[in-house]
Amino acid sequence: MLDSSAAIQPNKQVKIENKFIDVGNFLSYELIDKTIQIQTENSFVSILFYERDIVRIVMNPNEVPSLKSSFGVIAHPNKEIYYHMEDRGNDLYIKSSQFLIIIRKYPLRITILDIKGRTIVRENSLGMAYTEENEVICFKEMDTRDNFYGFGEKTGYLNKRGEKMTMWNTDVYAPHNPETDALYQSIPYFITMRNGSAHGIFFDNTFKTVFDMKSSEDKYSFSAEGGQLDYYVLAGPTIKDVVMQYTFLSGRMPLPPKWSLGYHQSRYSYQDEWEVREIAETFREKEIPLDCIYLDIHYMNEYRVFTFNKYNFPNPQRLVSDLKAMGIKIVPIVDPGVKADPEYTIYLEGVRGDKFCKYIEGDIFFGEVWPGKSAFPDFTSSEVQTWWGDKHNFYTNLGMEGIWNDMNEPSVFNESKTMDLSVVHHNDGVPKTHKELHNLYGLLMGAATYEGMKEQLKGKRPFLLTRAGFTGIQRYAAVWTGDNRSFWEHLKLSLPMCMNLGLSGVAFSGPDVGGFAHDTTGQLLVRWTQVGAFTPFFRNHSAIGTSRQEPWCYNEENETIIKRYIEERYRWLPYLYTLFYEASITGLPVMRPVFMEYPKDDQTYNLSNQFMLGESVMIAPIMDPDTNYRSVYLPKGNWYCYWTDKKFEGETHHLIKAELDELPIFVKENSVIPLTEPKQSTKEKDRKIEFHFYLGEDDINCILYEDDGETFNYEDGESFILEVSAKKIKKDEWNICTTTIQKNFIPSWETVELILHGGSADTIVLLNGTPVKGQRVDEQLLRIEKSFDELVMS
Ligand code: MIG
């Protein structure tokens, strides 16, 4: 719907602040089981510690706050945290080893400082408040130096200062542009970075929430349409600390199966078995690596989930096993809408077993989606979760190991785009409206699906891809960013979107490579594939009616380059997989904004068109048509061009040339990057591991993580962890050491190659103390090849 000028009629501005009821003056406090319970004139406030560096504050207008958390939170308060509390007349002082919380009493205002006396958050003229209509809001002072990040999946630039953002899971087919606000994911959390230091706020409220970093110059606010004002202050002080604190609360991604990190091909839709086979065979004939093909909605019998259309897919089991033999997995789409059809088992069971979302009077909610009139499982009930999870044996019995959840906002074809807000969810005996639980629907469907698959796969890691989610979605699924378009602008937009998702706990994300809607072009597909090869999730997907988008659909030059970059993805898997391993332990993203590594450098605070992979690698793609130059910012230190080894100075901008076949990649001096040889699919065993040493002045090292890539045995320690270092003995003399930290899993590598970049003709290398001769490729490049068993395993 396009607006005309009538949309901008003059109206009277009501100052929003006037409608709020302030919490008012302090009345009394009590300590109950280490929770500080405060009563004010107009509210009740509780304060409790989760960790030394995480404090939770909950305000309830009507009664002592409930301390039950949303499904997004997995952590519990730590009652062992020691703090000291003092009533100083006009203020309450609460001091822990990380925080000083000062509660001004008249009226109640909270200021939190860190141990160095640095203000983290402060309330002044306005603090916590609510309205007659059950809205809750919290105002905090905004510093002129504050930059804001996180907020999950948002359009626009990296830094969200000056933005107002709504969290309300929404199916937005179009447009995705800077003023598109609510998208598919709701992650009510953000990081404030001030002067290189950081802290975070996680607002654990599942209603529609709004974060307003725009309307005022000296304060920001976060508010919700209902519920309690329940938020956590995360102390930082670094950005990485905040992400770890947030993912301590909301959980971390389990290690994904390796095949999910390969290249994936999708299309809405591959219409039948023969088309799927043809796609798979074409990849293999052309020797383009591929790990997965998706089945979009046309595989089903009239869009009934857990069915196949027998004409188009007569033998899905054989299809799956034949493709598996080629190293290719099949992932089917599963939407939540269940076709209202009394002859369809799922619907029958759902109605009989009381599994669907209902109105309070007991009538099932029906909505139009692809199957026509449909009912929606009520995932807020654990019984329904188990039922739905179990149903997935339909897919696992066919040999499938991954599922793609779409339309799970939930999306409904009506005016509001979703379920009726007055639907009352079962919620395990604590009924709540859809208005309150809407944002959880995708997360709960994800939990049901992941747990069901995990159970049926008997030790194998499931893969789940989802469109909708809430805080904590990383525990179950990778996130793709929905219906983008084949626009250069959307390629650009995907970088800050995925970087902010990464800061919001979702380390495994990516956009549809090539663009979903609209027709792509050969050049756009090339440039997008170059980027996709280095984003955490790498899937080419396109919509019905748009031009075909498989790697070979444009000219030969395009195809050759696309193939080369897909191969490059497989070459980088050891480095990437190690980053995923780290993410599973720390919650830190794989794809990082540059300021995460260089928080003191203000050139990086809104750097949205380049990103880092881990600590050492800078990806600076070309994202404009017919363009082969761009400016690249390199922070402090020296950088190597990955392709040529040419050195670049940091703390400055460079004009970089990159023809269509080149993605600018820079590796930080003093780092080691593990790579391997390209292969057709992750099913093939690597035979060689390479360590690339980018020499500078310092000693350097890296960790390499490896395991079987498909089971949960790593949880019992069946993994391989190697530390590789290069110590500078003196000028031109390096001692390379390998230390196995863990070897309960034996990797498939036969040879290990050590490649020194940036040495000189005189470079001498010792290997664990013994001099070795290498093969000099040129003045600055030295290669040493060894047997993996001899060097590492003995
Ligand atoms: O209304 O299943 O975002 O990836 O191909 C469209 C068909 C429904 C939206 C998803 C897209 C998928 C499409 N779906």
pLDDT at position 432: 98
- State in Å: Cα 295 to ligand 1 middle: 11
Asked whether residue 537 carries a pLDDT value surpassing 80, the answer given is yes
Three-state secondary structure of 230-287 = EEEEECCCCHHHHHHHHHHHHCCCCCCCHHHHCCEECCCCCCCHHHHHHHHHHHHHCC
Q: What are phi and psi of 111, to 5 degrees?
A: -120, 135
The finding on whether 296 has its CB within 6 A of some atom of ligand 1 is yes
Rounded to the nearest 5 percent, the helix, strand and coil shares of the chain are 20, 35, 45
The C-alpha angle with vertex 33 and arms to 29 and 34, in degrees rounded to 5, equals: 70
Nearest to 642 by CA among 624, 658, 625, 660: 658
In the residue annotation, 483 being an active-site residue is answered as yes
Measured between alpha carbons, how far apart are the two ends of the chain, in Å? 68
The finding on whether 297 has its CB within 6 A of some atom of ligand 1 is yes
pLDDT (mean) for 409-420: 97
pLDDT band, residue 1 (cuts 50/70/90): very low
Three-state secondary structure of 443-497 = HHHHHHHHHHHHHHCCCECCEEEECCEECCHHHCCEEECCCCECCHHHHHHHHHH
Cα–Cα distance between 158 and 497 in angstroms, integer?
7
pLDDT band, residue 778 (cuts 50/70/90): confident
Provide the CB-side half-sphere exposure for 410 (13 A, CA): 32
Nearest to 293 by CA among 317, 268, 311: 268
pLDDT (mean) for 526-533: 99
Phi-psi region of 399 (alpha: psi -120 to 50; beta: other; left: phi over 0): left
Cα–Cα distance between 624 and 622 in angstroms, integer?
6
pLDDT at position 98: 94
pLDDT at position 780: 86
- Report the number of secondary-structure helices (H) and strands (E) in the chain: 14, 53
- State in Å: Cα 17 to ligand 1 middle: 40
What is the Cα Rg of the chain in Å? 27
Asked whether residue 2 carries a pLDDT value surpassing 60, the answer given is no
Q: What are the DSSP calls for 764-794, one per residue?
A: EEEETTEEE--EEEETTEEEEEEEHIIIII-
Cα–Cα distance between 200 and 114 in angstroms, integer?
13
pLDDT at position 748: 97
- Strand ranges in 695-732 using DSSP code E only, listed in sequence order: 700-706, 720-730
- State in Å: Cα 405 to ligand 1 middle: 10
Cα–Cα distance between 685 and 674 in angstroms, integer?
16
pLDDT band, residue 115 (cuts 50/70/90): confident
pLDDT digits (tens, 9 = 90+) for 23-75: 999 999 999 999 999 999 999 999 999 999 999 999 999 999 999 999 999 99
Q: What are phi and psi of 754, to 5 degrees?
A: -105, 125
Cα–Cα distance between 656 and 229 in angstroms, integer?
49
- Reading the block at residue 126, the tokens are 């306005």
Catalytic residue among 123, 212, 273, 409: 409
- State in Å: Cα 661 to ligand 1 middle: 31
The finding on whether 183 has its CB within 6 A of some atom of ligand 1 is no
The finding on whether 268 has its CB within 6 A of some atom of ligand 1 is yes
Cα–Cα distance between 137 and 417 in angstroms, integer?
26
pLDDT (mean) for 711-732: 97
Question: CB of 50 within 8 A of CB of 232?
Answer: yes
Query: Ligand 1, closest atom to CA 411?
Result: 1
Query: Ligand 1, closest atom to CA 516?
Result: 4
Residue of 176, 406, 490 to mutate, ligand 1, most atoms within 8 A of C-beta: 406
Q: What is the sign, positive or negative, of the torsion defined by CA atoms of 246, 248, 249, 253?
A: positive
In the residue annotation, 322 being an active-site residue is answered as no
The finding on whether 406 has its CB within 6 A of some atom of ligand 1 is yes
Q: What are the DSSP calls for 577-613, one per residue?
A: HHHHHHHHHH---SEE-HHHH-TT-GGGTT--S-EEE
Amino acid at position 170, single letter:
T
Query: Ligand 1, closest atom to CA 544?
Result: 5
- State in Å: Cα 119 to ligand 1 middle: 46
pLDDT at position 13: 53
Cα–Cα distance between 152 and 466 in angstroms, integer?
14
- State in Å: Cα 381 to ligand 1 middle: 26
pLDDT (mean) for 276-285: 98
Work out the percent of the chain whose per-residue pLDDT is above 70: 98
Q: What are the DSSP calls for 284-333, one per residue?
A: HHTT----EEEE-GGGSBTTBTT---TTT-S-HHHHHHHHHHTT-EEEEE
Q: For residue 148, how many other CB atoms are within 10 A of its CB?
A: 22
pLDDT at position 17: 58
Catalytic residue among 171, 483, 690, 753: 483
pLDDT band, residue 792 (cuts 50/70/90): confident
- State in Å: Cα 209 to ligand 1 middle: 26
Question: CB of 613 within 8 A of CB of 621?
Answer: no
pLDDT at position 11: 64
Query: What are the strands of the beta sheet with 338-339, ordered from one edge?
Result: 338-339, 372-375, 366-369
Query: What are the strands of the beta sheet with 751-757, ordered from one edge?
Result: 671-676, 688-694, 751-757, 781-787, 775-778
Residue 93 Cα distances to 36, 109, 313, 495, angstroms: 11, 12, 68, 43
Cα–Cα distance between 110 and 36 in angstroms, integer?
13
The finding on whether 465 has its CB within 6 A of some atom of ligand 1 is no
Question: CB of 756 within 8 A of CB of 773?
Answer: no
pLDDT band, residue 19 (cuts 50/70/90): confident
Which stretch of DSSP H or E encloses residue 575? Answer: helix 573-586
Cα–Cα distance between 472 and 440 in angstroms, integer?
10
CA 308 to centroid of chain Cα atoms = 31
The finding on whether 409 has its CB within 6 A of some atom of ligand 1 is no
- Burial of residue 213, with CB atoms counted within 10 A of its CB: 0-12 exposed, 13-18 middle, 19 or more buried: buried
Asked whether residue 12 carries a pLDDT value surpassing 60, the answer given is no
Q: What is the sign, positive or negative, of the torsion defined by CA atoms of 551, 553, 557, 558?
A: negative
pLDDT at position 48: 97
Cα–Cα distance between 716 and 720 in angstroms, integer?
12
Amino acid at position 221, single letter:
S
- State in Å: Cα 428 to ligand 1 middle: 31
pLDDT digits (tens, 9 = 90+) for 295-328: 999 999 999 999 999 999 999 999 999 999 999 9
Work out the percent of the chain whose per-residue pLDDT is above 90: 95
- State in Å: Cα 469 to ligand 1 middle: 16
Average pLDDT, the chain: 97
Query: Ligand 1, closest atom to CA 512?
Result: 4
DSSP structural state of residue 195: T
pLDDT at position 558: 98
Residue of 268, 271, 513 to mutate, ligand 1, most atoms within 8 A of C-beta: 268
- Burial of residue 562, with CB atoms counted within 10 A of its CB: 0-12 exposed, 13-18 middle, 19 or more buried: buried
The finding on whether 708 has its CB within 6 A of some atom of ligand 1 is no
Question: CB of 155 within 8 A of CB of 493?
Answer: yes
Residue of 299, 483, 485, 512 to mutate, ligand 1, most atoms within 8 A of C-beta: 483
Catalytic residue among 291, 378, 406, 550: 406
Ligand 1 atom 12: residue of nearest CA: 268
Query: Ligand 1, closest atom to CA 467?
Result: 3
Q: What is the value of pTM for the model shown?
A: 0.97
Asked whether residue 3 carries a pLDDT value surpassing 70, the answer given is no
pLDDT at position 165: 98
CA 438 to centroid of chain Cα atoms = 20
pLDDT at position 593: 98
